[in-house]
Structure 1
């Protein structure tokens, strides 16, 4: 099963892999990070975004930042510039939480139930086996979001997406 765009497949005791988490900040990967490291400029933003990689509540964090028009810092793996660009491209979205929650549900429905511990699998190795031993590199999975359309899983190069994973 492919890794979901929001990060981990963990469905452990904290419930992060089970539906939408409303109190997401308590489970965020950045909760032990110095907050100043998430409010940086230039190349340092890439290091800040790396903190979000694999975060079990990345989507919730991003939805909160988009819905509340948070202007500064890295939230949900996106810089303020990336979030502003997304908001400009999708002005008709009234609830990013609803949109991203629906996208997650659609993804889970299409891929089947999440399996506890599946995030420990080596997906690149599995993809290499499927491709006859050739690894093309990490797979970039994102949700495409078009006003009026249902969310769908988009691949690399599809310009109609919201980076949530």
Structure 2
């Protein structure tokens, strides 16, 4: 099931705790625990990667982890397609 951006955010486990996910450095690793078991984690991560969001924890990944992923997977045109199983996704190498 594909959700519109406004729909998936309403189902996010972190709803109402967003400030807790915008911490710096080592605190981000602790903050990402909120994402464990979240039903919309792939939607959140795709949003951050597709829009190159630089700050905070998104989809269980820290800023550094997302930057690394974007560097090593330059072949991905749409993270939403890849993570949410939409047609046109580039297969992982």
Q: Normalising by structure 2, what TM-score?
A: 0.85
Which residue is equivalent to 1:31?
15
How far the C-alpha of 1:92 sits from its partner, in A, is: 1.5
From 22, 44, 47, the equivalent of 1:64 is 47
More strand by share: 1
Aligned partner (choices 70, 79, 83) of residue 87 of structure 1: 70
Looking at structure 2, the residues matched to 21 and 55 of structure 1 have their Cα atoms a distance apart, in angstroms, of: 14
> Which aligned pairs between 1:8-157 and structure 2 lie closer than 5 A?
19-22=1-4, 23-33=7-17, 35-102=18-85, 145-146=92-93
Cα deviation, residue 43, structure 1? 2.5
TM-score, normalised via structure 1 length: 0.50
Offset, 1:42? 2.5
Higher helix share: 2
Question: For structure 2, which runs of at least 5 residues remain unmatched after alignment?
Answer: none
| RMSD of aligned residue pairs (Cα, Å) | 1.6
CA distance in structure 2 between the aligned counterparts of 1:42 and 1:94, rounded to whole angstroms: 28
Query: How many corresponding residue pairs?
Result: 87
In structure 1, runs of 5+ residues without a counterpart are 1-18, 104-143, 147-165
2-side partners of 1:56 and 1:42: how far apart?
A: 26
